[in-house]
Structure 1
């Protein structure tokens, strides 16, 4: 992108600062994060109201009061408006797993960590329900988010189980096997969230019951 085009999006009081410094300044990064969240919210709201296929990037840009070119700086494709939320949740879950101390019972410990992430997600039901409604008519994007989530969790969980068991995952199949059990359980709950016609409260209760049963079986 030409430097002049980049400067056009920068507040006047910052236009005398080199572009490279502006883009890395904490204040500018915070502003970019705010704009990212706002554009994402607008897109998801339109998808939920009119369907993912029916809404164009130009319509999102018009609602946001910016150009489509500006939106593409934040979201290179229309699918990225949906992928962003799922990828944030995956990154947060992977970070949670990576922060765990080795455990003699890695299955239970890792599952409880994932359970805590579901609890955090349910704490913001408005965001969850908006995303679910927005993604309802985009099965290919949903399939992609699930594939990315499963792959990311398998790698993170296998690494954690290898450390906890004190084995080389390349030579011992148990870490990958354990990871598959937990990732499979995680996917079952994701399916419950996305396909169920239950109310959010009922889904939460069903998920808690599922978590309790699985945790008991892993001990």
Structure 2
């Protein structure tokens, strides 16, 4: 793999068993990382699917099995933070305050990093959010991911409240949490120089945003 990383072995050979879901997820994450690296260096328009595939060590045909177009190659960077947030909301004790919610998010993030699902992706995620300011295709993917996140958050909050489905209040709270997460990500990415960005700083910003959103809900 170019860029100093480790090439992901993905080729299928005769008699080799099919890839597991875990292996497929690892490939998708590596595609996302390499896509952002190339987009950052060259821009989306100047980056070809062939270059992304070559950076990962797969064929273009394999790339298209995972994603419909090159802009969507970044989606795995957006889906894992959503999964972490949703699980933390499910585990948030009814009546608990915003600090308990944040601690649940910290634990879920630590689990994701330990499982190699998120830690290496934080710098790439911040680079991606910065790119959304200048790359319309990536901006569209980012907005769609935010839209897709809201019902997931609403379902998690409904489960916490013991409801079979989100009611209007839950949907409003979900919109507040979703907006807080987006605002925190964009604020940190847009106001922090890449060389100075660090996971602790991002977590602190997310915590502040979640505390604001959680006021009145706990």
TM-score (ref. length: structure 1): 0.65
**Counterparts of 2:136 and 2:189, CA distance in 1:** 11
> Larger Cα Rg: Structure 1 or Structure 2?
1
Within the candidate set 73, 86, 103, 2:94 is matched to 103
The alignment covers a number of residue pairs equal to 198
Which residue does 2:7 correspond to in 1?
none
Q: CA RMSD in A?
A: 3.9
Distance 1:93 1:64, change over 3 A: same
> Does 1:187 find its partner at 2:182?
yes
Stretches of structure 2 that go unaligned for 5 or more consecutive residues are: 1-10
1:84 paired with 2:84, answer no
Instruction: Please give the per-residue CA displacement for 1:165-185, whole angstroms capped at 9, x wherever unaligned.
Output: 456766x53222222222222
Q: Distance in 1 between matches of 2:108 and 2:102?
A: 10
1:144 and 2:141 aligned:
yes
The answer for the alignment partner of 1:19 in structure 2 is none
Aligned partner of 2:197 among 184, 195, 200: 200
Counterpart for residue 34 of structure 2: 42
Q: Any idea what SS the aligned residue of 1:77 has?
A: coil
CA deviation after TM superposition for structure 1 residue 83, in Å: 1.8
Q: 1:73 aligns with which of 43, 55, 65?
A: 65
Cα distance change, pair 190–208 in 1 and its aligned pair in 2 (3 A):
closer
Q: Which residue of 2 aligns with 1:210?
A: 208
Counterpart of 1:23 in 2: which secondary structure? coil
Q: Work out whether 1:156 is the aligned partner of 2:152.
A: yes
* Cα distance in 2 between the residues matched to 1:163 and 1:30: 27
